[in-house]
Chains A and B, each alone.
Chain A
Amino acid sequence: MSEPADGAVPTGEVEAPPEDSTIWRQVHPATPLINAWKALGVLVAIVAFNMMESIGATLELVSEFPVVWVVLAVAGALVVVLLVALGYSWLAWKRMRYAVGEDAVFHHQGILFRSQRHARLNRIQGVDIVRPLLGRLVGLAVVNIETAGGAKSNVRIQFLKDDEAERLRAEVLGRAAGLRGTTRPGAAPGEAPVFSQAPERRVYALPLGDLLLSVLLSPAAVTLVVLVLLLVPVGLLVGDAGWAAFFGLIPAALAGFGLFYSQFDSGFNFTLAVSPDGIRLRHGLLSTQAQTLPPGRVQAVRLSQFLLWRVRDWWRVEVNVAGYGLDTGNNGVPSSRTVIMPVGGRADAVNVLWLVLHDLGVDEPDTVIAAALTGTLDDGGFLPSPPAARWVDPLTWRRNGLLITRTALLMRRGRLTRTLTVVPHERTQSLAIQQGPWERRLGLADLRADSVPGPVRPVVPHLPATLAGQVLFEQAARARAARSKEGPEEWMRRVGVADPETAPEPEE
């Protein structure tokens, strides 16, 4: 495996950059090797999978030739494939380059089909560093820069050395925040400025025991137990046919295991830290990821508690972030990015809520939060569903509730799984009320605040219809006022934090 020359940034050739300060860089020279191995792995998997179906025929065919020939043929084929993949990856590597400019991130790649992606820094929603298992072994990482343009709106730079990836993250976030960075004393003119790593303070770490217990008490686990309890007696009764059914269930069991594993993986070694760059989340068992969510990027928050989690008063915190969508993670794109706390006690969950919201806009936040998490009816000043709602919503109507504070909409729902959804006024996209025939008869309506795609869907069902209609228009005005007060995208300037590195110089 080829090692980098001396840890220096492989600058590559400096092309005519889109802007003067833009300097093209290349990804790590080991990238083609890793990509070639991956291509080989995929190919072998495909061939093996196809041969599985006719394994007997294949073995018969193979056994007609001497063993040595077979081994040589297979090895030769593998080497040829590897060489071709290596050549292609190397060419692709030569073509791929990226740069960070004053206003944008640039990424160019492709041999036959070329692509150029330029992402504006002030539209960046988050920066992730992903270390896939293979990358972790050799100290390489993927940097994933997310913008708010739908499912594939990210700039993915792979692979970089770990420290280089961290420098790139600091640079992208620093520039997006409106910092300028420092140039090395005595640097040549035009040399790229340096951005220091933002200091971070750890706020929450998830203990392994809590994670295991929370997974065992999760809805998936309960479903599995119920299924087994139902199926095993059936299998025993039916006998042989039951065994066939048992084997038929193996794929389902694997899928279930996958679900458990992903829950476990997304919570393993989970830590949450705050830094001037934003909230930084780290987790992962085999492949690890570190997400950074700059301030003001969270569009909606949900705290939820599954029935069995009440034993420990545990809560999960999820967010909507533009560009994250519902993507569940594939090659290089982090998984479960919308969960910012997989499980934690109530105090921790509320702490995390403060981190993303800063101000709930009420005078007695503790009372309101308690009412929102576990209260019913008009506890804490919530606008509840009227008793008439019991006819359409017999189980949970007491929990439905809406509270409008100075800064946010609080939506309370759910009896078995309690949830609290919070949407800051300046983050509502559009608002709607809906009413079905039964609701009209009972004088009820649902209020919906549309948010960007994600796990959180802010809706309060079965509110008094007249009030819902009033709230709709009041809320539109409130959201407008909140938006007009919102500061610039460059958050370091917004909060008036002086750039520690360029503070003495006057800001132009």
Chain B
Amino acid sequence: MTADPFSPGGVVFRPVSGNLVTVRLISAGLSLGIPLLALAALAVWVTPWFWLGAAVPLALLLWLLWLVPRQVRAIGYAEADDDLVIRRGILFKSMSIVPYGRMQFVDVHQGPLDRHFGISSVQLHTASASTDATLPGLPADEASRLRDRLTARGEARLAGL
């Protein structure tokens, strides 16, 4: 087996904030926990058969507890001189390389949970719709630093289309 193409030499990937794990687990907990509680209540008061239904969200929740921390750890980014390199995925891996000069605009998103945990997500947009350059879970000040840096570099390397 040869060297892993997803760990290129000379590129140091930075991880995203560990708070992203908490945020993702809370939102998963909300969307799966409510049906879980409802089914559990039905199982207690109506018929124990509902425990079978309750097992599904429970299993999903446990699986996510195992999966999400790994997923978040797999996300990494590196600011090269001319490009932003983004790596993600465990089972299905991908690594994108987005030139600053190709950037059309940068989005910074922050939901209420994100705000509480001090993280936001940064997304680079190029003229291509298939460019997948989203960086979730950056610390808020890192996100705005990155946004300003990206836009500054994008202007410096303006290539139009």
Q: Mark A15-52, 1 if CB is under 8 A from B, else 0.
A: 00000000000000000000000000000000000000
User: Contact check: which of A430, A436, A486 meets B102 at CB < 8 Å?
Assistant: A430
Contact of B2 among A436, A443, A453 (CB under 8 A): A443
Q: Is the CB of A476 within 8 A of B129?
A: no
Any B CB within 8 A of the CB of A469: yes
Task: Give Cα distance in the complex from A108 to B116, angstroms.
Answer: 46
Contacts of A489 in B (CB 8 A): 160
Which of B5, B93, B133 lies at the interface centre, i.e. has the most chain A CB atoms within 10 A of its CB?
A: B5
B35: min CB distance to chain A, Å = 30
Please name the residue on chain A nearest to B132 by beta carbon. Answer: A432
Query: Does A379 reach chain B (CB closer than 8 Å)?
Result: no
- A354 contacts chain B at the CB level, 8 A cutoff: no
- B130 lies within 8 A of chain A by Cβ: yes
Do A430 and B128 touch across chains, with their CB atoms under 8 A apart? Answer: yes
Is the CB of A473 closer than 8 A to any CB of chain B? yes
CA distance A451 to B128 in the complex (A): 5
Q: Which residues of A contact B159 (CB under 8 A)?
A: 483, 486
Query: B97 to A452, Cβ gap below 8 A?
Result: no
Interface status of B8 (Cβ within 8 A of chain A): yes
Q: Tell whether B27 is near chain A: CB-to-CB under 8 Å.
A: no
Distance A436 CA – B4 CA, assembled complex (angstroms):
13
Given contacts A466-B5, A486-B159, contact A430 B98 (CB under 8 A): yes
In the bound complex, CA of A448 to CA of B126 (Å): 15
- Assess the A429–B92 pair: CB atoms within 8 A: no
Q: A322-B161, A480-B82, A483-B159 are in contact. Are A435 and B93 (CB under 8 A)?
A: yes
Within 8 A of B (CB), among A415-450: 429-437, 440, 443, 445, 448, 450
Q: Are A465 and B2 in contact (CB under 8 A)?
A: yes
Known: A148-B161, A452-B128. A430 touches B8 (CB 8 A): no
Contact between B127 and A473 (Cβ–Cβ < 8 Å)? no
Chain B residues with CB under 8 Å of A99's CB are none
A121 within 8 A of B: no
**Once the chains are docked, how many angstroms separate the CA of A430 from the CA of B159?**
13
Q: In the assembly, what is the distance between CA of A113 and CA of B102, in Å?
A: 35
Asked if A340 is an interface residue, CB under 8 A from chain B, the answer is no
Shortest CB distance B29–A (Å): 28
- Minimum CB–CB distance from A385 to chain B (whole Å) comes to 15
Contacts of A430 in B (CB 8 A): 96-99, 102, 126, 128, 131, 133
| Given known contacts A480-B101, A489-B160, A440 and B93 CB-to-CB distance under 8 angstroms | yes
Which of chain A's residues has its CB closest to B84's CB? A430
Per-residue B-contact encoding for A316-360, CB less than 8 Å = 1, 0 else = 000000100000000000000000000000000000000000000
**Interface residues as binary, A460-497 with B (CB distance below 8 Å gives 1, 0 otherwise):** 00000110111011001001100100100100000000
Contact mask B80-93 → A, CB, 8 Å, 1/0? 00110000000111
Q: Beyond A429-B126, A437-B92, is A450–B131 a contact (Cβ under 8 Å)?
A: yes
Whether B127 contacts A435 by the Cβ 8 Å rule is no
Q: Is A457 an interface residue (CB 8 A)?
A: yes
Residues of A within 8 A of B101 (CB): 480, 483
Q: Which B residue sits closest to A465, measured CB to CB?
A: B5
Residues on B with beta carbons closer than 8 Å to the beta carbon of A445: 5
Q: Within the complex, which residue of A431, A436, A452, A465 is in contact with B127, where a contact is CB–CB below 8 Å?
A: A452
Count residues on chain A whose CB falls below 8 Å from chain B CBs. 35
Q: Which residues of B sit under 8 angstroms from A435, Cβ to Cβ?
A: 5-6, 92-94
List the B residue with the shortest CB-CB distance to A476. Answer: B97
A350-B22 Cα distance, complex, nearest whole Å: 56
- Cα(A324)–Cα(B48), bound, Å: 58
Q: How far, in angstroms, from A132 to B92 measured CA to CA in the complex?
A: 48
Contact between B128 and A429, CB atoms less than 8 A apart? yes
Q: How far is the CA of A441 from the CA of B42 in the complex (A)?
A: 45
Asked if B95 CB lies within 8 Å of chain A CBs, one says yes
Say yes or no for B52: interface residue by CB 8 A criterion: no
- Hey, what's the 0/1 contact readout for B92-113 against A, CB within 8 Å counting as 1? 1111111101100000000000
User: What mask results when residues 75 to 114 of chain A are scored 1 for a CB within 8 Å of chain B, else 0?
Assistant: 0000000000000000000000000000000000000000
Return A248 CB to nearest CB of chain B, in Å: 37
B3 contacts A by Cβ under 8 Å = yes
A433-B94, A434-B94 are contacts. A469–B130 as well, Cβ < 8 Å? no
Please state if B5 and A432 are interface contacts (CB–CB under 8 Å). Answer: no
Q: How far is the CA of A148 from the CA of B104 in the complex (A)?
A: 11
B1 within 8 A of A: yes
Binary B-proximity of A116-129 (CB < 8 A = 1, otherwise 0): 00000001000000
- Chain A residues with CB below 8 A from B92, complex form: 434-437
Instruction: Determine whether the beta carbon of B129 is less than 8 Å from that of A453.
Output: yes
| Contact call A453/B97, Cβ cutoff below 8 A | no
A436–B91 touching, CB < 8 Å: yes
A121 vs chain B, min Cβ distance (A): 13
- Are A469 and B94 in contact, CB atoms less than 8 angstroms apart? no
Distance in angstroms between the alpha carbons of A469 and B96 in the assembled complex: 11
**Within 8 Å CB of B5, what residues of A?**
433, 435, 445, 465-466, 468-470, 472
User: Could you list some 21 contacts between A and B, CB below 8 A?
Assistant: A123-B160, A123-B161, A322-B161, A430-B97, A430-B102, A432-B94, A434-B92, A434-B93, A435-B92, A435-B94, A436-B91, A448-B130, A451-B130, A452-B128, A469-B95, A470-B5, A476-B83, A480-B101, A483-B99, A483-B101, A486-B159
In the A-B complex, the 3 residue pairs with the smallest Cβ-Cβ separation, listed nearest first, are A469-B5, A450-B128, A429-B128
**Interface contacts beyond A431-B97, A435-B93, A436-B91: sample of 19 additional A-B pairs, CB < 8 Å, sorted by A:** A299-B161, A322-B127, A429-B131, A430-B98, A432-B96, A432-B132, A435-B5, A435-B6, A437-B91, A445-B5, A450-B126, A452-B129, A453-B128, A469-B6, A472-B5, A472-B95, A476-B99, A480-B101, A489-B160
